[in-house]
Amino acid sequence: MGLSFADYITPVPAATLEFMYRPPLKHCRCCGTAAVYRLPDDGDTKVRAVCPSCNTVHYENPLNVVGTVPTWGEDGAQVLLCKRNIEPRRGKWTLPAGFMEMGETTAEGAARETVEEAGARFEIHELFTLINVPRVGQLHLFYRASLLGTDFNPGHETMEARLFTEAEIPWDEIAFRTVKETLTHYFADRRAGKFGFHVMDID
């Protein structure tokens, strides 16, 4: 967008900027006054966006990304991937996933994203991977799912939805590391004949 941190804030120490992963809050959500990043007066040990006018402290928390590993066939040999039609990573392949919405569970969010991005019919199963990505303030959760058919009607965020065997997966064209890690675990578990639950942290 061509905006720098300086366009958003007043002022933030350089040492603080180095660790921020989202555009800092520019104005107080309560009164609109320009926010200042500093230690709050309540003894908090983390730098927060504080309103110098109404003294509101704004807390910025990690975002949940939820999705599925939709598979086809009794042996689950094929996985459904979506080719992204939006940035970031437009043109790359991913599992159907997106940000969890208010008012839904993680499983409901994963199912909604699968319908929106792939237009697939499926049955959702257990949680399969939980991946912490602290660098960008995100938590990624993927559920296993069984497709109920191979007719897909992807939404506007997807160029194409296709089934891939492990040998056909375009590994160098996978959009996100969390997706690649999840696919790697899926095929390893499938070969072992038993699906587990995988928790990991990535940079």
**Is the domain of 89 the same as that of 126?**
yes
For residue 4, the number of C-alpha atoms closer than 13 Å in the C-beta half-sphere is 5
Whole-number percent of the chain with pLDDT over 90? 82
CA distances from 190 to 46, 183, 193 (A): 43, 10, 5
Residues 107-158 have pLDDT tens digits of: 999 999 999 999 999 999 999 999 999 999 999 999 999 999 999 999 999 9
- The domain that holds 23 is classified in CATH as 2.20.70.10
**Is the domain of 11 the same as that of 56?**
yes
**Is the domain of 99 the same as that of 80?**
yes
pLDDT at 17 over 50: no
Q: Give CA–CA dist 178/49, Å, rounded.
A: 30
**Is the domain of 85 the same as that of 148?**
yes
Range of the domain at 16: 1-60
pLDDT at 18 over 90: no
Confidence (pLDDT) at 140: 98
Residues 46-90 have pLDDT tens digits of: 999 999 999 999 988 899 999 999 999 989 999 999 999 999 999
Rounded mean pLDDT of the chain? 89
Bridge partner list, 141: 66, 130
**Is the domain of 70 the same as that of 35?**
no
**Is the domain of 70 the same as that of 163?**
yes
- If you ran DSSP here, which 8-state letter would residue 45 be given? -
**Is the domain of 161 the same as that of 121?**
yes
Confidence (pLDDT) at 24: 84
